[in-house]
């Protein structure tokens, strides 16, 4: 059975730039000059999936989504 693969997606309408995600997951998320998150490209490394999931539930606007990559 193959392992599930994920990517992080931010809903830019919901996001208000609180910056919690970048604090919890600096390996994958940085902030732009205005405090809005910039996602690292591609798949979330398996070792970071649990942390990424924690970041999604910690977002005060629930703007961060961990999305399964199909196939």
64 binds another protein (CB under 8 A): no
Tokens (6 digits) for 50: 């649990």
Residues 6+ apart with CB under 8 A from 29: 8, 21, 22, 37, 38, 39, 40, 55
Tell which positions 2-41 bind another protein, by CB under 8 A: 9, 11-17, 32-36, 38
CB of 1 to another protein, least distance (A): 25
Q: Which is nearer to another protein, 19 or 45 (CB)?
A: 19
Strand partners, 31: 37
The contact set with another protein (CB under 8 A) reads 9, 11-17, 32-36, 38, 65, 67
């Amino acid at each position: 059975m193959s392992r599930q693969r994920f990517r992080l997606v931010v809903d830019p309408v919901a996001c208000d730039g609180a910056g919690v995600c970048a604090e919890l997951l600096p390996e994958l998320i940085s902030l732009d000059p205005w405090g809005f998150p910039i996602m690292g490209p591609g798949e979330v490394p398996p070792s970071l999936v649990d942390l990424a999931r924690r970041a999604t539930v910690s977002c005060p606007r629930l703007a961060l989504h961990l999305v399964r990559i199909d196939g």
